[in-house]
Amino acid sequence: MFCGACGSSTTATPMTRKRADPRPSDTTVIQPLPPRSTVISVPLWPDGTLRAGLTPGASDTGHADPVRHAVEADAPAEPVTVEASRFTLQFSTGETVSVRGAGLIGRRPLPQPADRFDHLIQITDLSMSVSKSHLEFGQHEGEFWINDRFSANGTVVRRPPAPALRCEPGRRYLVARGARVEIGDQFFMLL
């Protein structure tokens, strides 16, 4: 016998309808994620060109630059601390934000529990082309980098006269001052 309105058994009681808890009764310990790597995937060379797959100091032929290699070999092995530079992000929405350190940009940026950011920048986007946590940015040796956080509409870096560069999610890209970074239908200029 079943109820014609809700389809449940007419002989069932509230106690028999209660399902067992699928979670285990013990406490599960979740290990923290390892720290993120600071490896930059695509370097931006001083002449403004992007050269994927080359390390700084290497020529187009893939051989190391002997002059730069000799200078680095003679230098003492002291840790170099680089002060975080100040960058200005000028958004297409009319907002201007001055940043130093790392940050997250999106409609409603929400860092993961293990993430630490100096800035959470919220963008007003009525078309919702910008993801909630669209883009991560930071600095490496005084250079500004971005990392698309698997956004729905992607991230594109434009720096004339070089062709537009669509960023692969999860990889860091160096961005020079004066470049335009498109996030969905919005963009910002790095000054």
Q: How confident is the model at residue 138 (pLDDT cuts 50, 70, 90)?
A: very high
Distance, in Å, from the CA atom of 40 to the CA atom of 59, rounded to the nearest integer, reads 18
Three-class SS state of 70:
helix
pTM over 0.75: no
Q: Report d(CA 119, CA 180) in Å as an integer.
A: 20
Interatomic CA distance for residues 100 and 111, integer angstroms: 17
What is the chain's mean pLDDT, rounded?
74
* CATH class in words for 90-190: mainly beta
- pLDDT at position 161: 82
Q: Where are the domains of the chain?
A: 90-190
Provide mean pLDDT across the span 66-91: 58
Give the residue with greater pLDDT, 165 vs 63: 165
* 61 pLDDT above the threshold of 90: no
- Given a cut of 80, whether residue 78 has pLDDT beyond it is no
pLDDT at res. 136: 93
